[in-house]
Structure 1
Amino acid sequence: MGTRERIIDAAEQAIHEFGIAGATTRRIAVQAACSEALIYKHFAGKEELFLAVLLERLPALAPALAELRQSVGKGDVAANLTAFALTALRFYARTVAIGGGVLGDPPLIAGFRAMLAETGAGPHLPILALAEILRTEQRGGRLDPAIDAGAAASMLMGACFHRANLACFVSLPDDDESWAGTVVATLVRR
């Protein structure tokens, strides 16, 4: 394993153990068995390092969106969307520690916003991609054309995000799979 990978692994571990605020470059360097200067040789700042943790170590939505795109016109639309919703829920559950910490740190969120703008990335992109998939299913006659695809995508992703956050505070009454199926069935009702 290379130095960059060790640093990312150490950052992920530090975030899960100490939160964003406690994931200092000093702690990360000790865990990665390197100097703080070496961290900055590989990453411009903590924002870039934390984004690398998000993009490279946590479950990603891009493969799930690609799989959903491949299922357009095939199989059961509700089942396909439910499988995607479960992946989105898992993604948000794993990223809640980073997201919450970033939101609570004004300089860090400013750095993240600037970096996302520079790279053209951001949390809105999966919603846009999902909306386009829903529109394609509408054009194929598999979803009600009266559904606002953009709103439905926002609601589905928002519901997944909300449930992941709620689960940090309380035990939820129903299992994730039945919850996802119910949410999808509500959104795609014909």
Structure 2
Amino acid sequence: MATEPGRRRRSTPERTREHLLDSAAEVLRELGMARATTKEIARAAGYSEATLYKHFTDKSDLLLAVMRHRFPPFVEVLAELPGRVGREDVRGTLLDLVPRAVAFYRHGAPMLGSLFADPGLLARHRGGMAGHGAGPLNVNRALAAYLDDERALGRLPAGVDPGSAASLLVGACFQRGFLEAFLGHDDDFPPVELHAAELVDTLLGA
């Protein structure tokens, strides 16, 4: 049950932020993006909107934090890709990436899908993401940059096009995540590890 604003015990700024993230993740999961207002999130956390805005500049900033810290881990894996270049096995890196991407998209599809029912909300969300330098294309770009760097080191076949390979990999992960979310189960699919192996080996020409 939500606590009324102003009645929560004193907490550190770090704990307050963590609780806001927990509440935002729960509200987004239950209501979707269209109905999950900052007012509703603050109410669910037991804080005022003013407190929420002390920790997050706007709703887009809050959503980005939820995606980074309350979604299945994927964003941080992308951020680590530059450090893997020339060091870790390319196939192993991609095999690690695919299941995480599928889980991320499966988790996010239901709550983000409501954006498309409201063109105005979608436009505001798109603008908010752009203002923070974020957006779904960053996934493709990060993966393409990693593949391009590995190809330059001769660790990928010269015929592999990084941009196309990244689009195919991300697209396949998104589709499986969406379908699992839509169907409510993954019984109609091969194990995600097998899916990852088949996908990566096809892309790498193995």
TM-score (structure 2 length as normaliser): 0.78
Residues 101-133 of structure 1 deviation map (CA, whole Å, 9 limit, x = unaligned) = 223332222122112222222211221121121
Residue 186 (structure 1) aligns with: 202
Residues 124-174 of structure 1 deviation map (CA, whole Å, 9 limit, x = unaligned) = 122112112112222222211112110101110111111100001233321
Equivalent position to 2:110, from 94, 97, 100: 97
Name the aligned partner's letter for residue 112 of structure 2: G
After TM superposition, the runs of 4+ consecutive aligned structure 1 residues lying more than 4 A away are: 40-45
Equivalent position to 1:142, from 155, 158, 168: 155
Q: Shift in Å at residue 13 of structure 1?
A: 0.6
Q: Shift in Å at residue 181 of structure 1?
A: 0.9
Cα distance in 2 for residues equivalent to 1:186 and 1:110: 36
Unmatched runs of 5 consecutive residues or more in structure 1: none
Residues 4-62 of structure 1 deviation map (CA, whole Å, 9 limit, x = unaligned) = 43333212111212323343445423321123454455555544433332234324534
Residue 3 (structure 2) aligns with: none
Cα distance in 1 for residues equivalent to 2:32 and 2:85: 39
Cα distance in 1 for residues equivalent to 2:152 and 2:43: 54
| 1:112 lines up with 2:125 in the alignment | yes
Name the aligned partner's letter for residue 52 of structure 1: A
Residue 62 (structure 2) aligns with: 49
Please state whether the residue corresponding to 2:190 is helix, strand or coil.
Answer: coil
CA separation of 1:168/1:29 partners in 2, compared to 1, >3 Å: closer, same or farther?
Answer: same
Unmatched runs of 5 consecutive residues or more in structure 2: 1-10
Residue correspondences, number: 190
Identity, % of aligned positions: 41
| 1:121 lines up with 2:137 in the alignment | no
Please state whether the residue corresponding to 2:67 is helix, strand or coil.
Answer: helix
| 1:85 lines up with 2:77 in the alignment | no
CA separation of 1:76/1:6 partners in 2, compared to 1, >3 Å: closer, same or farther?
Answer: closer
| 1:19 lines up with 2:32 in the alignment | yes
TM-score (structure 1 length as normaliser): 0.84
Contact 2:17 2:55 in 1 (8 A): yes
Cα distance in 2 for residues equivalent to 1:82 and 1:18: 33
Cα distance in 1 for residues equivalent to 2:133 and 2:59: 19
Contact 2:68 2:75 in 1 (8 A): no
Please state whether the residue corresponding to 1:145 is helix, strand or coil.
Answer: coil
